[in-house]
Amino acid sequence: MKVVSMLLMLLFFYACVSVEEKAADREPLYDYDVEERIAELGIKLKDPSPPAANYVHSVRTNDLVFMAGKGPTRPDGTRITGKVGIDLTVEEGYKAAQIVAEAQLSALRAEIGNLNKVVRIVKVLGMVNCSPEFKNQPEVINGFSDTMVEVFGERGKHARAAVGIGALPGNIAVEIEMIVAVGD
């Protein structure tokens, strides 16, 4: 009888928590419109071009979206290439990472329809094309991270790795992937 009482109490507790969580899910995530914020920041989102190989831009499973790695492509279609610290300065690498942020936001919006659904930028992996001696990978990937925080505020802060890579496809300067939690 004692076990049954404990189970009933646990079920009641779970039901109460579920109701609270459902009510919280209906409240807006932001006190501003993320799409308007993007326009205010001068970020131009566009429809992503088809993937360059046998992969997709994103995969959604439940409330997580796993975004494929993207490189820095300028509006004219050319890519930012070269090794940061040799061919490019840290500042140029930072700008390349900002361009990747725009590409990732474009692909994410194509997947979920509206960026106001973003609950949290969860994890970012930033890869910097550089020599083995280069030690400023975090400063480069800050271009991506700073953009996510400018757009999503505290929800844009994420766990992150910023690593140096000896070569990236097409000699691009950076490649960045991310995982995003979303709601409906």
Q: What is the CATH number of the domain that holds 72?
A: 3.30.1330.40
The answer to the question of residue 102 being in a domain is: yes
Contacts of 41 (CB under 8 A, 6+ apart): 150, 151
The answer to the question of residue 18 being in a domain is: no
State the Cα–Cα distance between residues 119 and 97, nearest whole angstrom.
Answer: 22
The answer to the question of residue 15 being in a domain is: no
- Which position has the higher pLDDT, 3 or 49? 49
Question: In the chain, pLDDT over 90 holds for what percent of residues?
Answer: 81
**pLDDT tens-digit map of 60-89:** 999 999 999 999 999 999 999 999 999 999
The answer to the question of residue 168 being in a domain is: yes
Least confident of 28-37, 110-119, 149-158: 28-37
Partner residues linked to 178 by β-bridges: 67, 124
The answer to the question of residue 108 being in a domain is: yes
**pLDDT tens-digit map of 101-143:** 999 999 999 999 999 999 999 999 999 999 999 999 999 999 9
The answer to the question of residue 26 being in a domain is: no
**pLDDT tens-digit map of 1-16:** 554 454 444 444 444 4
User: Can you give the pLDDT at residue 28?
Assistant: 75
The answer to the question of residue 17 being in a domain is: no
User: Can you give the pLDDT at residue 7?
Assistant: 43
Q: Reply yes or no on whether the pLDDT at 99 is more than 90.
A: yes
Domain that holds residue 69: 33-182
User: pTM of the predicted model, to two decimals?
Assistant: 0.84
The answer to the question of residue 145 being in a domain is: yes
Domain count, the chain: 1
CA 69 → CA 13, 57, 100, distances in Å?
42, 8, 9
